[in-house]
């Protein structure tokens, strides 16, 4: 960690923008802890994406299953088609729930709380600033003055 502060005089001209500089007095241990919290949220965001993928794929499978039922009927296999339609088409994936209900419960419960607590920690400890750990890692790892290693996009 670089231990840089938020004052404009202390930031190099090619350093991170104000939103990615640690506030005065914020210690390395807190920046690292907030970095871990941010990492955990990023993993949760990826898990949420998989949940939405599951939701979409399950819905597509059910629609395709309906097409299969019709094809079985057209092929003269009414008894097989009837059983699949009755027992599986439109069935709940979990007791009482289709996947949209699972997604809504997740979003409104666990996910909303996770995001809220992460934001509250940043607000209380780092003036709401995001990705401080990563911004400082970038400063430590990039080659200052080398093309493609700029701290931020060019202005204008």
Whole-angstrom Cα distance, residue 130 to residue 23?
11
pTM score, whole prediction: 0.82
Whole-angstrom Cα distance, residue 95 to residue 92?
6
Is residue 46, in this structure, part of any structural domain at all?
yes
Is residue 153, in this structure, part of any structural domain at all?
no
SS3 18: helix
Is residue 12, in this structure, part of any structural domain at all?
no
User: How many folded domains does the chain comprise?
Assistant: 1
DSSP 107-121: IIIIIHHHHHHHHHH
Q: How does pLDDT run across 69-78, given as a tens digit for each residue? A: 999 999 999 9
Whole-angstrom Cα distance, residue 75 to residue 143?
67
CB contact at 8 A, 136 and 22? yes
pLDDT of the residue at 155: 80
Is residue 128, in this structure, part of any structural domain at all?
yes
Burial of 62 (0-12, 13-18, 19+ CB in 10 A): middle
Q: How does pLDDT run across 102-149, given as a tens digit for each residue? A: 999 999 999 999 999 999 999 999 999 999 999 999 999 999 999 999
Q: Is the pLDDT of residue 6 over 70?
A: no
Is residue 7, in this structure, part of any structural domain at all?
no
Is residue 56, in this structure, part of any structural domain at all?
yes
Supply the range of the domain harboring residue 48.
18-141
Average pLDDT over residues 33-58: 98
Is residue 156, in this structure, part of any structural domain at all?
no
Other CB atoms within a 10 A radius of the CB of residue 51 amount to 16
Is residue 43, in this structure, part of any structural domain at all?
yes
């Amino acid at each position: 960690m670089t231990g840089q502060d938020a004052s404009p005089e202390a930031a190099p001209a090619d350093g991170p923008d104000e939103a990615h500089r640690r506030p005065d007095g914020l210690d390395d241990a807190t920046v690292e802890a907030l970095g871990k919290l941010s990492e955990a949220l990023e993993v949760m965001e990826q898990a949420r994406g998989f949940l939405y993928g599951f939701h979409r794929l399950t819905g597509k499978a059910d629609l395709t299953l309906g097409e299969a039922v019709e094809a079985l009927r057209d092929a003269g296999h009414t008894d097989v088609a009837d059983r699949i339609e009755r027992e599986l088409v439109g069935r709940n994936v979990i007791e009482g729930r289709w996947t949209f209900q699972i997604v809504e419960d997740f979003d409104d419960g666990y996910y909303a709380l996770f995001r809220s607590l992460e934001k509250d920690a940043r607000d209380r400890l780092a003036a709401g600033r995001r990705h401080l750990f990563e911004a400082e890692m970038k400063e430590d790892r990039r080659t200052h003055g080398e093309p493609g290693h700029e701290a931020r996009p060019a202005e204008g």
